[in-house]
Amino acid sequence: MWLPGRFRFENAPVIFLIARVAYDVRDFQILGGPSWIKSEMYTVDAKESDSLAEEMQKLPFEKRPEIGGLLVQSLLADRFKLKVHHETRMHPVYALVIAKNGPKLHEAIPGDTYPHGFKNLDSPTGAGAIRTIATSERERAMSGQGIPIAALAPLLSRELQRTVLDQTGLKGKYDISLTWNPELSLAGMAQGPESGRPGGASTPPPESSVPSIFTAIQEQLGLKLLSTKGPVEVIVIDHIERPSEN
C-alpha cells in the first residue's frame, strides 16, 4: 500500500513487487531470475524523503503510480541488486476483434449525468471510469463509462494473464457492462492459443447461468477474443540478490 511519504509491501513474493509495482506488467512478462523470487515472502517498508513526499502529494492521482514505480525500481536496484533489460518476444496473445454480427456497444454521451453510477468522462487520461467487482466466486462484473477499447484491452489482459491486442479498429468511447464466470474463464485459458478457438470451454455448467469471459465478451459486447501469437514486451532479470534485513 501507498501511504503519504511511505510504501509498505507486506508478505508477498518479490516477483509481484517487480511486475505489478515497479514495472506495471503481469507476472508472465517477467523472465529469468531464481525460483525464490516467486516462493519467498518479503515485507518491505520504505520511507520517502519529506520533500519527495510533498511533491508526490501535489501530483495528479493517476500520475502517482508511475512515479512510485520508478521509486520502487530504485529500491530494487539498491536493496536486491536487481538488473534487468527489456525485450520484445513473440508470445501467446489474444486479439480482440469485432464479432460476426457486429459490436453491441453503447457509445458514451458527453455530459451524461449517470444518475445511477459514477461519472469521470473528463478524466485527464481520457480513459473514462471503470471498475471491476467480484459479486461471488462464480461471478465477476466490470462496468465502465466513456471507455475507449484501447483502455479495455489492458484490463482484459489483467484478467486473462495474457496480453490482449486491440484489433477492433473502434475509435469511440463506450459505456460498458460485462459479467462473467472467472472459473469458466480459467478453463478456457487452459486451451491455449494452438486450439484456434476463442479461448476454449465457454459453455457454463447447468448450475451456472454466468458465461466465461470469452462468451460474455461476444454476447454482451459483440466483440471476440481470438487466440494467436504476437509481440509482447518482457522484462528479463539479469541479476538479483536476497537483501539484508535492514
pLDDT of amino acid 138: 80
* Nearest residue to 97 (alpha-carbon basis) of 170, 198, 167, 171: 167
Q: Which domain holds residue 27?
A: 2-80
pLDDT of amino acid 69: 84
Domain identity same for 76 and 104: no
71 compared with 208, residue with greater pLDDT: 71
Residue 130 has pLDDT above 70, yes or no: no
- Range in 57-66, 155-164, 166-175, 192-201 with the lowest mean pLDDT: 192-201
Instruction: List, in sequence order, the alpha helices (H) in the chain.
Output: 14-16, 36-39, 50-58, 64-79, 149-160, 182-189, 213-221
Domain identity same for 28 and 112: no
**Residue 65, in any domain of the structure:** yes
**Residue 126, in any domain of the structure:** yes
Domain identity same for 228 and 153: yes
Domain identity same for 140 and 208: yes
Where would I find the beta strands (DSSP E) of the chain?
2-3, 6-13, 30-32, 41-47, 83-98, 106-107, 129-136, 139-148, 164-166, 173-180, 223-239
Which grid cell is 98?
469485432
What value does the mean pLDDT take over residues 165-173?
Answer: 93
Residue 197 has pLDDT above 50, yes or no: no
Residue 24 has pLDDT above 70, yes or no: yes
Q: Give residue-wise pLDDT tens across range 41-71.
A: 999 888 877 776 677 677 665 566 677 788 8
Highest mean pLDDT among 4-8, 14-18, 180-184, 203-207: 14-18
Which grid cell is 65?
503510480
Number of domains within the chain: 2
Residue 123 has pLDDT above 50, yes or no: no
Q: Give residue-wise pLDDT tens across range 82-105.
A: 999 999 999 899 999 999 999 999
Residue 190 has pLDDT above 50, yes or no: no
pLDDT of amino acid 194: 40
